[in-house]
Amino acid sequence: MRVRKRTLALAAYFFLLVLPIYWMLNMSLRSNADILSTFSLYPVDITFNNYIKIFTDSGWYMGYVNAIIYVTINTVISLACALPAAYAFSRYRFLGDGQMFFWLLTNRMAPPAVFLLPYFQLYSTFNLIDTHIAVALAHCLFNVPLAVWILEGFMSGVPKEIDETAFIDGYSFPRFFITIFIPLIRAGVGVTAFFCFMFSWVELLFARTLTVTQAKPIVATMTRTISATGLDWGLLAANGILTIVPGALVIWFVRNHLAKGFALGRV
């Protein structure tokens, strides 16, 4: 009986968790006039006009393309830098390793608002404003430290004897690292890529400040409509729903490692 009650409570919680998202889905399937005139728990006149508008207007759909481009660049850079560094932290003791780790941690915790002002200046100097690479690099501030921690956790789970045996067998370090070690922690690499994707995808402040038109992501395009008068709720809701889709897709691939990844990543 106690178990049943517990399951019911959990079901109620999940219901509340999904309810606001359902409400946005409901709005996205109705026209703006319909939303403002009648209150309804489910869409009566289902219309896909909001979605059609997003997929046919380049001002909208390019927002998604831009976001996906810089998120991908960021994930690649973060992984490429973090893999060797995480190996160093998990296998070696070296001068200043503790301090270095702490310094990385401070960057994960640093308020993005603090870096807003200088970033604009810095990237203007390098003529990088409104490029995908600018946002990708800015997101490295928190994603690279994050990737190092998660990978370090996974790598520490691999016994050191494997490295020793490989070196005795005459493997060079790069060859050992790429052909033996990385395949061993591929679950960890997947989880790390997922978290880099996630944090780059959800971030707003840098993405909005460092882009004007050419690289403007969807989250920034949406803030523009929020401040505009005569808001189109249906269109806004459809945009919101579409921003959830990529996350929901990638989450499926890492579902079995999710809990471990969160615990290891100290995210």
Partner 1 sequence: MMEKWEDNRAWYLVLPVFVVVAFSAIIPLMTVVNYSIQDIFGPGNAVFVGTEWYEEMLTDKRLHDALWRQFIFSGLVLLIEIPLGILIALAMPKKGWGVSASLVTLAIPLLIPWNVIGTIWIIFTRPDIGLFGVWINSLDLLQVPFDHTARPLYAWITLMAMEVWHWTPLVALLCYAGLRAIPEAYYQAARIDGASAWAVFRYIQLPKMRGVLTIAVLLRWMDSFLIYAEPFALTGGGPGNTTTFLSIYLVKLATGQFDLGPAAAFSLIYFLIVLLFCFIFYQALLNVGRGEKIS
Minimum distance of partner 1 from residue 261's CB (angstroms): 9
Kindly tell me which of 112 and 190 has the beta carbon lying closer to partner 1: 112
- CA 132/CA 195 separation, integer angstroms: 19
**Is residue 96 within 8 Å of residue 247, measured between CB atoms?**
no
Cβ-based nearer residue to partner 1, 46 or 92? 92
Instruction: For residue 246, give the DSSP letter.
Output: H
Minimum distance from CB of 265 to partner 1 (Å)?
A: 9
> Quick one: 184 or 250, whose CB is closer to partner 1?
250
Residue nearer to partner 1 on the CB measure, 52 or 258: 258
Greatest pairwise CA separation for the chain in angstroms: 76
Query: In the complex, what is the shortest distance from the CB of residue 95 to partner 1, in angstroms, rounded to a whole number?
Result: 5
Least distance to partner 1, CB of residue 105, Å: 6
| DSSP symbols for 19-59 | HHHHHHHHHHTS-HHHHHH---SS-SS---HHHHHHHH-HH
Could you give the CA distance from residue 139 to residue 108 in angstroms, rounded to a whole number? Answer: 10
Q: How far is CA 150 from the centre of its chain?
A: 14
Q: Shortest Cβ distance from residue 142 to partner 1 (Å)? A: 9
Nearest distance from residue 260's CB to partner 1, in Å? 6
DSSP code of 177?
A: I
Query: With left for phi above 0 and alpha for psi between -120 and 50, is residue 43 left, alpha or beta?
Result: beta
| Cβ atoms < 10 Å from Cβ of 222 | 18
Q: What's the CA gap between 1 and 10, in Å, rounded?
A: 14
Cβ-based nearer residue to partner 1, 23 or 48 = 23
Tokens coding 147: 């990737």
Phi and psi at 47, nearest 5°, equal: -130, 140
- CA torsion, ordered 258, 260, 265, 266, to nearest 10 deg: 110
Q: Dihedral angle at the C-alpha atoms of 14, 15, 18, 22, nearest 10 degrees?
A: 170
Instruction: Indicate the residue among 37 and 58 with the shorter CB distance to partner 1.
Output: 37
Q: In whole angstroms, how close is the CB of 55 to partner 1 at the nearest point? A: 18
Report the residue number, 6 or 186, with the smaller CB distance to partner 1.
Answer: 6
